A and B are shown apart, each in its own frame.
Chain A
Amino acid sequence: MARLVASKREDGTIEKELFSPESLKQNAVSLTNGRTIIAIAGGITSGILGLTGLQGGLCYFVYMLLFTLTLVLKLGWKYEPYFASWNQICVDGIFGSITTYILFWTLAYNSVHVF
């Protein structure tokens, strides 16, 4: 089902768009899944490299940035056909997968460096 949403542009004209909530939701789920995969892969990478402390924490954001960049490149620098806003692509769910990252970081770090 499509939904008509009207929003005001900066220059005062009214912009009307058709959204399909189901597809938007599906895209959001794909986004979260992508982030989770990156968190897992990134966590294992950081762990094997033996990063500790702040380095590892910063690396998480670097991975997320890389993911976002790849995604944006794949979308061809426009969000309109797939997502509600830039904010959703760049910010949404960034902290959601941090526990996953920490888990796999710890797991890989311990398996390689501690024992």
Chain B
Amino acid sequence: MLMLDPNVRNWVMIPITFAMLLIGVLRHLVSKLMRGSSTPKIKTIQAKQLIQRSQYLRAHSGFLNRAAFNQRKEFFCEKEKGAFLQKVDPSLNPQQAMMSDPSMLSDMLTKNLTMIVPQFVTGAWVNFFFSGFVVAKVPFPLTQKFKLMLQRGVDLSSLDVTYISSLSWYFLNLFGMQGLLQLIMGEKTFDDTQVMQQQMSMGAGPAGGLDAPNLFKAEKDQLEMMQHTYRVDKFVELAAK
């Protein structure tokens, strides 16, 4: 059993936890501030609402009779005049928009910046001030494989694996604090695990933005494939049951 100095607890473990909590709150508020300042473009809203209207139509088609439904379907899917088949504004096509619209790029950059920079800075802060401390002992057994990961900065070959360094404590906080932050802020905060997943899949497609052509096409296909049933005439029967 290793004796740890209570001062390590008071001046390393608890401060790290406390700082992480406050930084989490700060990050949330800063990102809210930045998000609030950008106004969405009219074209984007139009496209979004068009899709939503089509979704409502599909969801509530039971209240419309056949003719009314077909009329609405025609509005969306008709071969020449259909709303989904009109030429889409280039700013709504993410590949083209990337070239023509620099605001989107800077948007992405600031978004990433607010997520990654604080994480990076706290990591560096912990690493700089508290490296080499054995901060805590996890109350569950771990295999030897974890030693390299959890005891970074502590080069003691005979030290039990369950003792972890300050950097590992930082990571434990990073993941564990998410739930608490959500409670405090009362809404969804950044999920670091999600951020990491996003970074992994960054190459796959542009993050954010509306991919109108593809969404239109998907929605049109779904609307065309849909089986329409008129439900109102069965309501009397249902109510009688």
Contacts and interface: CB of A to CB of B under 8 A. Distances in A.
B5 to A, nearest CB: 7
A114 B5 CA distance: 9
Contacts of A103: 172-173, 175-177
A33 B139 contact: no
A106 B234 CA distance: 59
Interface in A36-66: 36-37, 39-40, 46-47, 50-54, 56-57
Given A103-B177, A104-B176, A110-B9, A52 B62 contact: no
A100 B179 contact: yes
Given A110-B136, A115-B9, A36 B182 contact: yes
Interface residues of B, number: 28
Contacts of B6: 115
B13 interface: yes
A12 B142 CA distance: 52
A4 interface: yes
A29 to B, nearest CB: 8
A88 interface: no
A102 B137 contact: no
Interface string B2-37: 001110110001000100000000000000000000
A16 to B, nearest CB: 7
B129 interface: no
B140 A53 contact: yes
Contacts of A32: 182
Contact of B139 (A3, A40, A105): A105
Contacts, number: 75
Interface residues of A, number: 34
A102 B172 contact: yes
B179 A40 contact: yes
A109 B140 CA distance: 11
A111 interface: yes
A47 B175 contact: no
Contacts of A105: 139
A4 B136 CA distance: 53
Contacts of B205: none
Minimum-distance CB pairs A-B, first 10? A103-B176, A36-B179, A100-B179, A99-B175, A52-B139, A109-B139, A99-B176, A110-B136, A115-B9, A115-B6
25 contacts: A3-B59, A4-B60, A16-B238, A33-B182, A36-B180, A40-B180, A52-B141, A53-B141, A56-B139, A57-B140, A99-B172, A99-B175, A100-B176, A100-B177, A100-B179, A100-B180, A101-B176, A102-B172, A103-B173, A103-B176, A105-B139, A106-B172, A107-B17, A109-B137, A109-B139
